[in-house]
Chain A
Amino acid sequence: MRAGPALHDTTFMSRTFPKLAIGLVIVIAAMPLGLSSDAVFALPLTAMMLVFVFSSLRLVTVRPWFVFLAGLVMDITTAGPFGFWALVFLMAHCFGRAIAPYGPGLGPIGLWLAFIAAAGAIGALGWAVASLYFMRLLDPYPMAWGLIAVILFFPFAAWALERLVRIGQPAGNLSFRS
């Protein structure tokens, strides 16, 4: 995660790869993997993490309408409340864009802390919206376990994704938005 001149070349890895990666995680989340009841949040929240990472990277173009559509597809495949994951992904997109200008200055630890704060806020809001939707206080543990899993996974994922989207870019290109 390095700073540098504000150059931006559109390549397959910066334009199409993020969409494919988010789409792939959505398909995997729908697969009959036999995950336990406590682990069901992990995969949808991984897609949320990808949205956050790609929205904060300068080289990547992730449009809000794509984020919204990805959320709707996740809603349909997970048979949840229609619009819930769209809302969560949009929140992750907004947080990602909000921290993007500070990306190069934050460094890996700062970025991780920013994600922890964002994920905590998104998780709390998501749990509140879901509880309001079902008109009862839902068990917060599955959501909490899912958030812990993606928070622990975040540094590796962010590092790997940042390197992947830089493939084909001139050497001095920035990874974060300027």
Chain B
Amino acid sequence: MRNGLRWNKQRNMNLAASRRSRKNGILLFTLFFASIILLISSRLENEYMQSVRGAFADLAAPVLEAASLPASMARRAFDRANAYLDLFEELDRLKSENQRLQQVAWRAEGLERRLSQMRTLLNAVDEPALGFASGRVIADARGPFARSMLLNIGAENGVKAGYAVINEDGLVGRIVNAGERAARVILLSDLNSRVPVLVGPSASRAVLVGDNSSTMTLQFLPADVTIYPGDEVYTSGHGGLFPRGLRVGVAIKDPTMELRVGAHAKLDELEYVSVLFFDSPILVSKEADELVSRRASREEAKLLSGAESEETPIRAASRPSSRRR
């Protein structure tokens, strides 16, 4: 009798365990399936995914901002300790650099004078100054498959997707996603980064391509062009995404003697960056065209209805109010 009861109890326990394990198996299968579906949707660049990422970035921004403070303080302390160790070497380097820069400044003054004379002769129009907003890097999303970062400024500061991001050394990347209070920047070294550039004194056109490593490659260089290590690389402005002439990097030879580009900006150690409010001229003109056509159709409708047309000024895409350079 007692043996029978024990056997029944054991049987019930085994049944419950097998039911639980089956349930777990179904749950695991569902979650694996969901992961694969999410991967496919992400690959297809589903808009809903992008909005989820943007919303999450906004939500996580305060947490990440608070969490990043000790990390950046520790990094600064480490850098300072390193700087103390290399103080004398740094002093020698700065002395020689200062001598070189004095010569460069003297030459630059002369060139500036000549340029101003030429501009007067040509009656050239000055390019408008670019607005910008500066922010701090609050999260380093340099994950295995992406080289990006999160800034603590967003749409409410005038940041939009597509804007160029720079620091004191040069171009860093561009905004890919702007939430209200946070924005994601794709770095030059990211696998998906493509920047039209000019290379060297001959200003040969090329496209700077990231491959998730610390340096970038140049694609679509004309076959007859020779690039030397040390040649400067800067934005060409083609395509209208970036303003022309932003410093990007310098041509280098990697250990396999392949030509690559090292960014001037230290992409691994970014802390403060600025977002340039540069609207693509194509987009601006498209918006202006849309406004003109809208106004024309409105006036036409008013004329047909006998009403007087109302004057409304046409404005190109407005720039956000911010500090001006």
Once bound together, how far apart are the Cα atoms of A134 and B75, in whole Å? 33
CB within 8 A of B43: which of A64, A77, A133?
A: A133
B146:A34 contact, CB within 8 angstroms: no
CB within 8 A of A30: which of B24, B27, B139?
A: B139
A170 within 8 A of B: no
Once bound together, how far apart are the Cα atoms of A20 and B39, in whole Å? 26
A37:B268 contact, CB within 8 angstroms: yes
For B142, give the chain A residue with the smallest CB separation. Answer: A40
CB within 8 A of A68: which of B24, B35, B49, B148?
A: B35
Contact residues on B (Cβ < 8 Å of other chain), bracket: 35 or more
CB within 8 A of B268: which of A31, A35, A78, A90?
A: A35
A83-B35 contact in complex given A64-B27, A78-B141, C-beta closer than 8 Å: yes
B142:A27 contact, CB within 8 angstroms: no
Interface residues of B in 111-155 (CB under 8 A from A): 137-150
A34:B141 contact, CB within 8 angstroms: no
B87 within 8 A of A: no
A84 within 8 A of B: yes
Q: Which residues of A contact B148 (CB under 8 A)?
A: 79
A37:B212 contact, CB within 8 angstroms: yes
CB within 8 A of A82: which of B38, B140, B214?
A: B38
Contact residues on A (Cβ < 8 Å of other chain), bracket: 35 or more
For B191, give the chain A residue with the smallest CB separation. Answer: A134
A51 within 8 A of B: no
B213 within 8 A of A: yes
Once bound together, how far apart are the Cα atoms of A130 and B144, in whole Å? 10
B219 within 8 A of A: no
B42:A27 contact, CB within 8 angstroms: no
A83:B42 contact, CB within 8 angstroms: yes
For B78, give the chain A residue with the smallest CB separation. Answer: A34
Cβ of B172 to closest chain A Cβ, rounded Å? 13
A142:B144 contact, CB within 8 angstroms: yes
Once bound together, how far apart are the Cα atoms of A79 and B63, in whole Å? 17
Chain A interface (Cβ within 8 Å of chain B)?
Answer: 27-37, 40-41, 44, 64-65, 67-68, 71-72, 76-84, 86-87, 90, 93-94, 129-130, 133-134, 138-139, 142-143, 146
Q: Could you name 18 residue pairs across A and B whose Cβ atoms are closer than 8 Å?
A: A27-B63, A31-B139, A32-B138, A32-B139, A33-B71, A34-B75, A44-B143, A76-B57, A77-B139, A78-B146, A81-B145, A82-B38, A82-B53, A83-B37, A84-B145, A87-B39, A93-B28, A130-B145
